[in-house]
Amino acid sequence: MALDTIISLDKVSIFQKHNLVLNNLSLNIDKGEFVYLLGKTGSGKSSLLKTLYADLDLTEGSGTVAGFDLKKIKIREIPFLRRKLGIVFQDFQLLTDRSVNDNLMFVLKATGWKDKAAMQKRMQEVLDKVHLNTKGFKMPHELSGGEQQRVAIARALLNDPELILADEPTGNLDPETSEGIMNLLLEISRSGRAVLIATHDIMMFRKFPSRTIKCEDGKVVDSKVN
């Protein structure tokens, strides 16, 4: 596997319970790539993402993500895999009873940070990156949807991940706000991280064209291969 390859899947079949969702999937994504994962609801996009962050077991085929073997990964190793990933969901998943700073602090503590000064510095760095450097004291309900999604992206960046997985990150946002989020994710990919975005928002894809991986009828069609 090339040093720059962050996701490598070979002849993978993905199951939800006992149902085959995606069949015989082979795929490589390199650092710095910006890739869309397209497909209708129920086509297997979320199942593929869950496999990549080891929420679904890989039972058929072989795969590595950020140097971890998905077939052999042990439960105790999964947090170490996830530290190398930044995961962004459609519904933000912020802790609503804590300020933005406390949401970020929660993740740093949970992933083993101890040095208070280093934690403060890192929180400020990621808030600067998502253009929310003055909003750390705010509660999530005091922020717009777009700002909440920026906090979610800041949270995903805390551990300097090699890969960002975004599941419908603009699904709850208006077109203008969505564009801002897409620009931010593009900026992140230009800094050398791979970004994989599951979406069915074709307008975004038209506005920001890039490599596509399309799930349909249990198969995956990769624009890089075709």
Each residue's pLDDT tens digit, 11-64 = 999 998 888 999 999 999 999 999 999 988 888 898 999 999 999 999 899 999
Residue 91 has a pLDDT of 81
CA 216 to chain centre: 21
In the structure, what pLDDT confidence band is assigned to residue 194 with cuts at 50, 70 and 90? very high
Measured distance CA(82)–CA(52) in Å, rounded: 10
Q: What is the 3-state secondary structure (H, E, C) of the chain?
A: CCCCEEEEEEEEEEEECCEEEEEEEEEEEECCCEEEEECCCCCCHHHHHHHHCCCCCCCEEEEEECCEECCCCCHHHHHHHHHCEEEECCCCCCCCCCCHHHHHHHHHHHCCCCCHHHHHHHHHHHHHHCCCCCCCCCCHHHCCHHHHHHHHHHHHHCCCCCEEEEECCCCCCCHHHHHHHHHHHHHHHHCCCEEEEEECCHHHHHHCCCEEEEEECCEEEECCCC
- Least confident range of 41-45, 144-148, 221-225: 221-225
Ramachandran quadrant class, 144 (left: phi over 0; alpha: psi -120 to 50; beta: rest): beta
Which pLDDT tens digit goes with each residue over 55-87?
A: 999 989 999 999 999 999 999 999 889 889 999
Q: What is the pLDDT of residue 2?
A: 56
Contact assessment for residue 115 and residue 143, using Cβ atoms and an 8 Å cutoff: no
Domains of the chain: 1-84+162-226 (3.40.50.300), 93-160 (no CATH)
- Mean pLDDT in residue range 174-190: 91
| Whether residue 210 has pLDDT greater than 60 | yes
Q: Which residue has the tokens 């609801």?
A: 41
Q: Residue 226 — very low, low, confident or very high, per pLDDT cuts 50/70/90?
A: low
CA distances to 18, 43, 48, 120 from 61, rounded to whole Å, are 16, 19, 13, 42
Q: Is 156 a residue whose pLDDT tops 60?
A: yes
Tell me what pLDDT residue 134 has.
94
Q: What is the pLDDT of residue 173?
A: 86
Bridge partners, residue 25, by sequence? 12
What does the alpha-carbon distance between residue 224 and residue 36 come to, in Å, rounded to a whole number?
Answer: 11
Per-residue model confidence as pLDDT tens digits over 89-141: 888 789 999 999 999 999 999 888 999 999 999 999 999 999 999 999 999 99
Question: Please, what is the average pLDDT of the chain?
Answer: 91
